[in-house]
A and B are shown apart, each in its own frame.
Chain A
Amino acid sequence: MNMSDLSVRNTNDSMQRMTDAVLRAGGGSAAVLLIAPSPGDATDAGQLGLDAPNFQGLTLAPAIFRRTRPTMTQNQPATYELLISATAVAQQVSLLQLSSADALFSMVAAVNMGGLTLLIEEWACTVSLGTPMAYRLLLRASEPQSMTTDD
């Protein structure tokens, strides 16, 4: 959602650069978002889980990755928080010719952080003076998967 500040003021990208600096200082990780390749698989096999999806890794940095404060509940997977630079997201949105960051995140099948596969539960945008600074993603650890297919 674009909530621009329409007041007359001298704006520059200093807040965005400061946000990126904070993200680098706080961890400076890189998040790999797994998205479907383009063009996609339009075959029956692709829709029935027979073909490998060949997800592409989209690297976004800087990012901060941390575990959320745990609420001890039986059989609940661990949840994590990922803060990604809005400038990095905007760059990928432009490269992929998408309409918005929401469109990008809705395409993401999973997030890979240092070999750990995570699923996106929710995302939100941190905005300053109408300009996105960072995106906050709530992630959940995925269940273990077998190493081979069942064919």
Chain B
Amino acid sequence: MQNAKDTFYVALRNRLAILNPARQVEIRGVQRPAILVEEAEAPMKELPNDTFVLRWTAATALEDLPVRLMQLVCEVHYATSGSQPNAGLDRGRAMTEMDRELLDILTPMCAPKMSYTTTPATALATNVFWSEPQLAALETVRDQLLRVASIQVLAFDEPGEA
């Protein structure tokens, strides 16, 4: 299950780096694509703007198949307050841009499952695949626009997989 989570994040991160190299954030002294796994970072006072934050929530095990199929729910939280040159008046356009980027990096809706506990990463036998995102209603908090997208991520638990 952890390999599926890691694979999902790394796939989205690599796609974002290609799609929009300018969308970067500095986390723990490293400039990197503006996407992170909330549970793999230090607790934050508030989630960073202009960054996709992955939060894993529900998990369901489907045991009726020859191999257990794990269904995980990933919430992608993202927010923006627009840009300084435009004094934040472009926050609507910035949010639309992030919506589009999220939809683009989620396509294709699968990725080969990898294990990142080794260096280099080890390819596993199955794929991680996911559903279309459900974009929730936009939330407005003064000068900030926030949205949560929910994605169902599925992966088989391979025999011997940790």
| A residues adjacent to B (C-beta < 8 A) | 36-50, 53, 106-107, 109-110, 119-122, 142, 151
Contact = CB atoms under 8 A, between A and B. Distances in A.
A49 B28 contact: no
A47 B40 contact: yes
Contacts of B55: none
Interface in B29-46: 29-30, 32, 36-37, 39-40, 42-43, 45
- Binding site of B, secondary structure by majority: helix, strand, loop or mixed? mixed
Given A110-B42, A121-B45, A40 B116 contact: no
B73 interface: no
Contacts of B6: 44, 48
B117 A40 contact: no
Given A120-B45, A121-B45, A47 B37 contact: yes
B17 interface: no
B136 interface: no
Contacts of B36: 47
Contacts of A121: 45
Given A37-B29, A39-B29, A40-B28, A45 B40 contact: no
B10 interface: yes
A151 B121 CA distance: 16
A109 B116 CA distance: 24
B30 A45 contact: no
Contact of A48 (B9, B27, B29, B45): B9
Nearest to A45: B116
The listed residue with most A CB atoms (<10 A of its CB), out of B10, B28, B116, B121, is B28
A49 B32 contact: no
Contacts of B10: 44, 48
B119 interface: yes
Contacts of A109: 28, 42-43
6 contacts: A39-B30, A40-B27, A42-B30, A47-B36, A53-B42, A110-B42
B45 A122 contact: yes
